[in-house]
Amino acid sequence: MLKSNKFNFVYCAAVSALAVGLAITPANALPGQSVKTVLSWAKTKPQLPTLTYSDEVHSYNGTKGKLHFYAGVTAQNGTVTHEGITISGDSSFKFTKKSARVVKLIQNIYNANIGNDFQKSRYVTKIGRDQFYRGQNYAYIAAEVQGGTNLRIITLNSLQGEINNARYCQTHQCDL
């Protein structure tokens, strides 16, 4: 009987600690989540700019210093389809898996799990300027863009569609 009570006490303490930990851990807004979740999360991240909606490109975006952040959406109050970070004006900064600065930035914006997922992701292909990577949880598209470098985070199930679209745009006129 004493061992049973001790087990229940330890079990309850562990479950309580887990519940408290989950309650105080900030949400990591990522593709697949609601716009409301992403906007609330972005407000808690001091390194991110204030995000405003652009009907023209169907995204929430903003710039703070050299960092531009955006979240593509299905509709103004819909689901986030992808998120991106662009760093401009720093030619030494490139979104590569081997860069400790890149992994640290991703960890600071999201968390260690996302930073590590990108760092351990598998290179898939390069099409034009885009390099495609498959992680365990998300897929990533890194590209050198005019005046900077960009990383897009997408869901795993949209990776093949993004690759197909990039291939199509290699031989056809596409709006960027």
> Residue 132 to residues 38, 71, 93, 108: CA-CA distances in angstroms?
24, 18, 18, 22
29-82 pLDDT, tens digit per residue, is: 799 999 999 999 999 999 999 999 999 889 999 999 999 999 999 888 889 999
**pLDDT score of 15:** 36
Q: Is the pLDDT of residue 175 over 80?
A: no
Give the residue extent of every domain in the chain.
Answer: 28-171
Q: Which of 156, 149, 159 is nearest to 67 (CA)?
A: 149
Residues 6+ apart with CB under 8 A from 170: 127, 128
Give the span between the Cα atoms of 117 and 77, in whole angstroms: 28
How far apart are the C-alpha atoms of 119 and 57, rounded to whole Å? 29
- Between 173 and 96, the higher pLDDT residue: 96
Name the helix (H) or strand (E) containing 117. helix 112-119
